[in-house]
Amino acid sequence: MGARDSDAPQRSGTTGSRSAYLTPLADRAIWFKGLLLLYTIASVYTSQTTSFAPLILASLLYMSLNLALPVVPSVFVRMSLSALSALLVLVSVDMVDPRMLLLAPPSLFELAAAAFRHRAVTALVLLAPSAFAAADLTPLYVFAALVTFAYFTLLQTYTDASERYRDEIRRHQSDIDRLARSLEESREWADQLEYTQRLEERSRLSQEIHDKIGHAMTGALIQMEASKRLLTADPEQSARLLQNAIELSKDGIEQIRRVLKSAKPPSEQLGVHRLKLMLDDFAAKHPFRTVLTHKGNLDMITPVQWKVIQDNVKEALTNVLKYSGATAVSVDIRVLNALVRAEVADNGRGAGKIVKGLGIVGMEERTAAVNGTLIVDGSRGFSVTMLMPCAKQADPVATGDQERP
């Protein structure tokens, strides 16, 4: 594992800072050390200049020290094992065979990478033993040192990139978890807010019924009780009281109608709101820009016509998603003098020849069920237009244009 470049974070020389260098090296370089050891054993054994027993003993000690590196948790112990491995190699050079020097570069690299920040210094440390090697061994040692330096430097680069990638994944996962928790909290807050609003509406209705309708009904009951008592003694007064009770009852019934009417949203608000939710949901799930516009007195559209419009818009959006290749969809609702016009249009490729599938046929049948007509046009983009007769008389209220993007 190579030392850091000059732009890497400064290391203080403590065992904690060295762990970033020694741990991945010990974990991932054992196979390289094993191959280097096998080559050294084969080279020494084939020369038949050294006894086999000391070679095997030194090799077993070398592998034991290096196999212990990945499983030792302490950084100080890891560095101590690398130092012992390097010392064992130097002793083996004197007591076993000079070619045992070929095992020195990995251990020297581990120690130099942990001690020095610049890779050039690490390379010099690896090449230093070549000055004391035998002349015939020097080229082979230099080659082994350069291969070790190249392999461990690449290993360091790969390790750093992997660590950064894992850190980025952990950060992204943390962000996703945080956003998921925030979304869940927002949903819970929205549910709680909706529940609170329902409770407040119930409380308001209960208070209005108690304050207005309850008083009217109580007054009417009192008037009817008094009229009953005066029915024989004073019929004229009894009739007046009974008439008052009737008036109070009528007023109470009118109050009930007003309260219920204020609690129920107009049908046109429900229809537009549902269309808006449908388009917003479509835009959230698919890469389309959606626009909803409406003009005229929407109160003239009946609930049945709203249902036809919503079902046809849903079917048209499905066709847009499947066939149009569009990027934007618009829905326009207009109430004319005696006609309701609803159009769904996109900016896609359109169609020179309209082939009516099950979707278009279904839209035609739904529109015909309310005495309407469906017009399909593919000349500029693709559009579906519903024309339906107004089933309600317009209220004498001025209407204006509204647009909801």
> What confidence tens digit (pLDDT) does each residue in 114-141 have?
777 777 887 888 888 877 777 778 888 8
pTM of the model: 0.40
Torsion angle (degrees, nearest 10) of CA 71, 76, 79, 80: -100
Q: In sequence order, what are the residues at sequence separation of 6 or more whose Cβ sits closer than 8 angstroms to the Cβ of residue 387?
A: 339, 340, 341, 367, 372, 373, 374, 375
- What is 267-404's CATH topology? Heat Shock Protein 90 (3.30.565)
Please, which pLDDT band fits residue 261 given cuts at 50, 70 and 90? Answer: low
Share of the chain above pLDDT 90, in %: 9
Q: Which of the 8 DSSP states describes residue 322? A: I
Share of the chain above pLDDT 70, in %: 83
Q: Over 90: is that where the pLDDT of 331 sits?
A: yes
Please state the rounded mean pLDDT for residues 240-255. 78
CA gap 55, 53 in Å, rounded = 5
CA angle, 152 then 21 then 100, to 5°: 50
Sheet containing 373-377: order of strands: 373-377, 382-389, 339-346, 328-335, 289-295, 402-404
pLDDT in tens, 42-71: 877 777 666 778 878 888 888 888 777 777
The CB-side HSE value for 304 (13 A sphere, CA atoms) comes to: 12
Tell me whether strands 373-377 and 339-346 are parallel, antiparallel or unpaired: unpaired
| Model pLDDT, residue 234 | 78
Please state the rounded mean pLDDT for residues 16-37. 61
Torsion angle (degrees, nearest 10) of CA 126, 130, 132, 133: 130
Torsion angle (degrees, nearest 10) of CA 245, 246, 251, 252: 70
CA gap 250, 246 in Å, rounded = 6
Long-range contacts of 358-363 (CB under 8 A, 24+ apart): 359/315, 359/318, 359/319, 360/319, 360/384, 362/315, 363/311, 363/312, 363/315, 363/316
H/E stretch holding 215: helix 215-229
Q: Over 50: is that where the pLDDT of 396 sits?
A: no
Q: Over 60: is that where the pLDDT of 225 sits?
A: yes
Q: Which of the 8 DSSP states describes residue 352? A: S
Domain boundaries, the chain: 1-264, 267-404
Q: Mean pLDDT for the chain?
A: 77
Q: Which residue has the higher pLDDT, 384 or 82?
A: 384
